[in-house]
Amino acid sequence: MKNDAIGVFDSGMGGLTAVQELNRILPNENIIYFGDTARIPYGSRSRETILRYAKEDVAFLRRHKIKMIIAACGTVSSVAAEHPIVTDLPFTGVIAPAIEAACEATRKKRIGIIGTPATIRSGSYIKAIAQTHPDVMVIPQACPLFVHLVENGYTDFHNPVTRLVAEEYLAPIRKENVDVLILGCTHYPVIADLIGDIMGPEVKLISAGAEAAKYAKKCLTEQGLLSDRTEKGRNTYYVSDSTEMFEENARYFLQEEVHGDVFRSDF
């Protein structure tokens, strides 16, 4: 089982920010990624629909030999917080790892959180922080257009459309004098340079996807499940829509060209 793959899924390509970090910190691991690109975005769906989609994504990953599952999707993680979707394998979403990193980083005890409407509506980050750090104030903000902008390649630091949208979304959080901002959707790190420029250098950005990858390493280490292969691991990608579009845009998330096979799957 040590040399089975790590399964990662997301509503689209945002989860590749977790894959990027996994490749960096666990280079000998095989990764199987599923991006439900035909049904993106999840963030505007009902709780029931999101849960159904998430269970279907997990079922797809289970067709392969996997030793852990990462829900690299802030929306799924928020909804699944109260409805566990994996109980027989090591599993993580992105919320708990991001919260741990954010609460450790804040000095002012004022944390901003941006995410999809479903993530913010669920109140999952606020509830989780209140349980472990009741003295920390959380300022949430839904950013519904960010996923669409990123998925369609509007990621350039100087893009006027993306900057205008970001300035409007981030204005309420800037007024609250936060010193940490959780990027609660795994799409958002792709425009982290723009977000950071608007928030200012005194605000630390926390990537939910990267923190989930770090947690995965810790979890697999503790359970003795790290791969013992000596050669570099292999990434295999599956998407529910166009493979060509995936390969074209995935490099923005991975910060390099796609290395590994890409397949289309209809579940």
The answer to whether 211 and 234 are in contact (CB under 8 A) is no
Q: Does position 101 have pLDDT exceeding 90, yes or no?
A: yes
> Global pTM?
0.90
The answer to whether 129 and 138 are in contact (CB under 8 A) is yes
pLDDT in tens, 227-244: 999 999 999 999 999 999
Domain 95-208 = CATH 3.40.50.300? no
The ranges of the chain annotated as CATH 3.40.50.1860 are: 5-93+210-264, 95-208
pLDDT in tens, 174-225: 999 999 999 999 999 999 999 999 999 999 999 999 999 999 999 999 999 9
185 is catalytic: yes
Task: Name residue 92's beta-bridge partners.
Answer: 70
Confidence of residue 1 (pLDDT cuts 50, 70, 90): confident
Please provide the CATH number assigned to the domain covering 5-93+210-264: 3.40.50.1860
Q: Which of 103, 143, 185, 219 is catalytic?
A: 185
Confidence of residue 43 (pLDDT cuts 50, 70, 90): confident
Q: Which of 73, 103, 143, 219 is catalytic?
A: 73
The answer to whether 240 and 39 are in contact (CB under 8 A) is yes
Q: Flag the least confident range among 5-9, 114-118, 207-211, 249-253.
A: 249-253
Distance CA(239)–CA(47), nearest Å, equals 22
73 is catalytic: yes
Strands 180-183 and 91-92: unpaired
